[in-house]
Amino acid sequence: MNIEKLYKLTNKKNATKNNTLWGENITHGTDAKEHYLCSPTVIHAYRDINLAVLLNPIHAKIERKEIKIWEAIGIVVVEDWGKVGCSVLSTIREIEWPIWIKKEKDVQILFAALCAETVLHFYEKKYPEDCRPRKAIDAAKKYLEKKTQAAAYAADAAAYASAQAAQ
């Protein structure tokens, strides 16, 4: 088992469910023999900071204004779509929110791109020559990075092409 860099969400009081307290260089573990996500047999974290923030409303359910994000390290024993369960997890330091999260439209664009990216391999397996969905994802990400009118037009055109490909 390898130690991996991860991300942990807490509330402003550095607590998670069942009032487990976290902070700089705090470690928690579980001695469960079997491990299941969404159970007390693991300590939950994420491999991707963006996914942690995006999935919070359906996972940790911490109010947006109450969220703290921690850089962490842990031993992953179970995972599903970027959410992981660890047998041991240590929070290292509090980190800043990703810049894109400050605007709701940006959140929606990134979430759509991440969702599309997650299932893209199914489409590419069936239509290996059609690069329009991948271009739409890339254009959306470039738009979030640069936010120019040209990037917006490219993202819109790529999204339209992807929609046509899906029909």
Largest CA distance in the chain: 54
Domain with 46 in it: what CATH number? Answer: 3.20.170
Long-range CB pairs of 101-110 (<8 Å, 24+ gap) are 101/53, 106/144, 107/54, 109/140, 109/143, 109/144, 109/155, 110/50, 110/54, 110/140, 110/141, 110/144
118 and 89 co-located in one domain: no
pLDDT at 154 over 70: no
Per-residue pLDDT band for 95 (boundaries 50, 70, 90) equals very high
Would you say 68 and 94 are in contact if contact means Cβ atoms under 8 Å apart? yes
pLDDT recorded at residue 23: 97
- For residues 123 and 88, membership in a common domain is answered with no
More confident residue, 82 or 23: 23
- Based on the domain organization, do 86 and 107 belong to the same domain? no
> What does the pLDDT read at residue 158?
62
Kindly state whether residues 16 and 57 are assigned to the same domain: yes
Task: For 35-81, write each residue's pLDDT tens digit.
Answer: 988 888 999 999 998 888 888 888 888 888 889 999 999 999 999 87
27 and 84 co-located in one domain: yes
Q: What pLDDT, on the 0 to 100 scale, is given for residue 47?
A: 94
Whether pTM > 0.85 for this model: the answer is no
Judgement on whether residues 16 and 27 belong to the same structural domain of the protein: yes
Same domain, 120 and 138: yes
Asked if residue 48 and residue 104 are part of one domain, the reply reads: no
pLDDT, tens digit, 9 for 90 and up, residues 114-125: 888 889 999 999
Cα distances from 52 to residues 45, 102, 144, 159, in angstroms, run: 8, 15, 18, 25
Answer yes or no: is pLDDT of 101 > 70.
no
153 and 109 in a common domain: yes
Domain count, the chain: 2
Please give the residue range of the domain that contains residue 140: 100-166
If asked whether residues 27 and 92 sit together in one domain, one would say yes
